[in-house]
Structure 1
Amino acid sequence: MKTPHASLALLTLLSTGAHAFAPNLHRAPSTALRATPPSQSNFLTPELAASCIATASGTPLYAYSLPALAEAASACLAFPNAYGLTVRYAMKACPNGSVLKYFLSRGIHIDASSGFEVRRAMEAGFQPEMISLSSQELPGDFADLVKMGIKVNACSVSQLERIGKAFPNTNQKVGIRINPGVGSGGFSSSTTGFSKTNVGGPSSSFGIWHELLTDGTVPSIVETYGLEVERIHTHIGSGSDPAIWQSVATRSLSFCKIWDTVTALNLGGGYKVGRNPGEKTTDLIEIGAPVADAFREFAKENNGRELKLEIEPGTYLVANAGALVATIQDKVSTSDHIFLKMDAGMTDVLRPSLYGAIHPITILPGSGKSSDIGTDTESVVVVGHCCESGDLMTPKPGEPEALEERTLRKAEIGDIAVMDGSGAYCSGMSTKNYNSFPEAPEVLVTAEGEVHLIRKRQRLEQIYENECDVPQGVF
């Protein structure tokens, strides 16, 4: 679909942040983040953006690039390994059925975080044996899922006991998720302190604390119920520091020595993706090659035991394959700031607001405007459409409660904003329906520029259709 928008796309670095706490709107303005605007977004030209908007019948919407999904899938499937590899998509990152079905077509398996995700994956076509469940809340129907063939990792001592009681003395196969004592978080240099992106270490509730394996607690439960441990699982967070990741991989292999029935080691995911210029994306070959060597060394030291490797990428597979497309619906000024207001916000992008992350955004001319919208720049604060002081698109990097201006090309009401790097933890993780804003639609863009609707825009009545009236006379 061709449109008059064949212009130079305008870009600045913006945040997708929104936070439950009010930003500091009265502090002195900081030096605005500056960057040379690239010519277009990651994959949306002005023409393609217009086609996405037409297909979705307006903004906001999420767009996903099929070629970008393919490139990321190929990179993960090429992860170095010694004796076999299973790539599991952490589907919580973006659970749209079309995305799931594409990864299924590439032979990628599933990492599910709830019983509901398990059934959603099966609905998309995944066979039960292709699905691994690691959940903070063990589903009430977990026994039924196990009988179907789902691979369940016990993520706490009580979960392991519940599995044992459901399948006593049957040699039921089970995986065990271990907290190895350290973590890796994108906004924290600490490997043991609390960080929202750190899911390992003493400040994390994820997994069974490693000392409970070495002190005999977990082996005793396994023996009591006659379970067969076939998988060891660790996941430390989203930092992807090569040294930490490789150290944890080596340590995780030591846990595999406890049971000679273990056939696979799952090292999780959390591979960092660079969304902005200068940000480094995890080199999977760099972090994977030494791990493959460690697997070979393990085999030499343990009577030829050849363990298979499992990884669980989420962000790596979809982050830069997705973009949020929104409209600048208002522009206001105060004595300190110029504010651009999008017709999207924390209802569509929430995770960066929790961490103060920044994403690139491209400003395209609105419908009917000249393709030549100039090269003037201005420092602005970008906010969302919610009646919420924390609906902030541009927090200070790493500080979600601190407002910071961004420098971008001048935008006017009606212009289009394309926020790249929004493929992960946006459509699947947001405050959708806050202020009764409907869930945004999703589209898939092919290499040929075809745009396909893969989720309809939610209708208002769908937001409240599950509400029930109380009996007459209660009020």
Structure 2
Amino acid sequence: MPIDFHALAEKYGTPLYVYDFDQMRENYRRLKEAFAGSKSLIAYAVKANSNLSVISLFGKLGAGADCVSLGEILRARTAGIEPYRIIFSGVGKRDDEIEAALKEGILMINLESEAEMHRVEEVAQRLGQEARISIRVNPNVDPQTHPYISTGLHENKFGVEIDRAKRMYIYAKNSDWLDPVGIHFHIGSQLTELEPIKEAASIVADLVRSLAAIGIEIRFFDVGGGLGVVYRDETPIDVEEYAKVITESIKGLDLTIICEPGRYLTANAGWLLTRVLYEKNNGAKRFVIVDAAMNDLMRPTLYQAYHGVEYLEPDAKERGEATPADLVGPICESGDWLAKERLLPPTRSGDLLAIRSAGAYGFTMASNYNTRGRPAEVACEQGQCRLIRDRENFEDQIRLEKGHLEA
């Protein structure tokens, strides 16, 4: 059923994030079925879209959660995800976060360095509780994606190289407080080429075999996330082929595959609605100034990312010739743009536009820069739409400050 963006904008105001839960559910089903012949866990990457209702949607479908902070772990638990389906990743875990994760009884902690391994061991010993761990292996494979979201090369801060990982597994096996149950790799985000994934999976699977030869039995093969989506003209990876190269890489091994999608599940099931404030033309450049800004959607200025823009007024053809325009917001930064050189007809104040592919890394990266309240969020499913997060107001923003004002 089509979503009535105009009705939602009238009811909830703009800027406004809108999510199609039916599409999210279908994306999950397609990926889960691709791994139907194997033991698998789809652990939703909470960082992509951490709204409690989104996490709950995937949890009810059987998903776990890939978390990179204690806050995300608590969000996953609040949304109903069982601890044994939660993975704690990330390069910089504080002792209090490690302790809380162990007390929650999560499935495993992904280690990113030897230093982190020793911190986890110390915390586990202090608690008198064995820590289930996996190690993030950096296979040094070029993911062929944007350098800011590449994570699998030696120049990136993530993971450890093969030889160091093997030494860490041997250490963990001999520790009274570490239980090495998994292995993990994630070479980058927005991946649209299958070959790097195949190469990385093969390298890491060979490490699993070499570990088994010395008595270290790994149970979970965590392939990370990173499946790319269409923002403009990309050709995404076929999920059946993706699952096939993963399962073939671990042939002969008794492993549960863990996949950590975020963008794949949510990106193209979300829109950011915004209204035109006015137009400005300086003679050389046309600007359409809207009420959404870089604080609402950071990806364009951060990654120079492309998001499709849909002009939603029905009389577009009667407005006159469409000409190139930059879509910009009210923030006092030259980097405050949402789209550049897009063909748009002449616009009027109040016209509604939808910025596409905004379901992932949209609201989660939003901020209060310029003391702007973050947008409301709406979920639509089975023909009904509902508010899943209120719009922030000024009082929300200053709540933690005003109690400290000097008398």
TM-score w.r.t. the length of structure 1 is 0.79
- Structure 1 match to 2:286: 338
The C-alpha deviation readout for 1:269-306, integer Å capped at 9, x for no partner, is: 10000123x3222211122212212222xx1xxxxx41
**Superposed CA RMSD:** 2.1
- Structure 2 match to 1:177: 136
What is the alpha-carbon distance in structure 2 between the residues aligned to residue 447 and residue 171 of structure 1? 45
The one-letter code of the counterpart of 1:156 is S
Contact 2:229 2:263 in 1 (8 A): yes
**Which residue, out of 378, 383, 400, partners 1:466?**
400
- Structure 1 match to 2:382: 447
The C-alpha deviation readout for 1:221-280, integer Å capped at 9, x for no partner, is: 54244522111010000224200101101111122231532111000010000123x322
Whether 1:412 and 2:336 are equivalent positions in the alignment is no
- Structure 1 match to 2:300: 352
The one-letter code of the counterpart of 1:109 is G
The C-alpha deviation readout for 1:104-134, integer Å capped at 9, x for no partner, is: 1111111011011001111111111111110
Contact 2:141 2:199 in 1 (8 A): no
The one-letter code of the counterpart of 1:231 is G
**Which residue, out of 233, 250, 257, partners 1:309?**
257
Structure with a larger share of its residues in helix: 2
The one-letter code of the counterpart of 1:127 is E
**Percent identity of paired positions between Structure 1 and Structure 2:** 26
Query: Which of structures 1 and 2 has the larger relative contact order (alpha carbons within 8 angstroms, sep 6+)?
Result: 1
What is the alpha-carbon distance in structure 1 between the residues aligned to residue 317 and residue 323 of structure 2? 17
- Structure 2 match to 1:393: 338
**Which residue, out of 60, 69, 74, partners 1:105?**
60
For residues 240 and 228 of structure 1, do their structure 2 counterparts lie closer, same or farther at Cα, with a shift above 3 Å needed? farther
For residues 82 and 160 of structure 1, do their structure 2 counterparts lie closer, same or farther at Cα, with a shift above 3 Å needed? farther
Contact 2:223 2:258 in 1 (8 A): yes
What is the alpha-carbon distance in structure 1 between the residues aligned to residue 370 and residue 100 of structure 2? 38
Whether 1:201 and 2:156 are equivalent positions in the alignment is no
Whether 1:384 and 2:319 are equivalent positions in the alignment is no
Contact 1:327 1:343 in 2 (8 A): yes
- Structure 1 match to 2:244: 289
Offset of 1:218 from its aligned partner?
A: 4.7
Q: SS in structure 1 opposite 2:59?
A: helix
- Structure 2 match to 1:62: 17
What is the alpha-carbon distance in structure 2 between the residues aligned to residue 157 and residue 122 of structure 1? 28
**Which residue, out of 223, 228, 231, partners 1:267?**
223
Contact 1:82 1:295 in 2 (8 A): no
Name whichever of 228-237 and 149-158 sits farther off. 149-158
For residues 452 and 373 of structure 1, do their structure 2 counterparts lie closer, same or farther at Cα, with a shift above 3 Å needed? farther
What is the alpha-carbon distance in structure 2 between the residues aligned to residue 362 and residue 252 of structure 1? 42
What is the alpha-carbon distance in structure 2 between the residues aligned to residue 81 and residue 199 of structure 1? 28
- Structure 2 match to 1:165: 122
Offset of 1:361 from its aligned partner?
A: 1.1
What is the alpha-carbon distance in structure 2 between the residues aligned to residue 135 and residue 148 of structure 1? 17
Note the 1:87-102 alignment, pairs <5 A: 87-102=42-57
- Structure 2 match to 1:26: none
- Structure 1 match to 2:100: 144
TM-score w.r.t. the length of structure 2 is 0.92
Whether 1:53 and 2:5 are equivalent positions in the alignment is no
The one-letter code of the counterpart of 1:174 is I
Name whichever of 374-383 and 85-94 sits farther off. 374-383
What is the alpha-carbon distance in structure 1 between the residues aligned to residue 183 and residue 295 of structure 2? 37
Please, which runs of 5 or more residues in structure 1 have no aligned partner?
1-42, 188-194, 300-304, 395-403
Q: SS in structure 2 opposite 1:359?
A: coil
Please, which runs of 5 or more residues in structure 2 have no aligned partner?
none
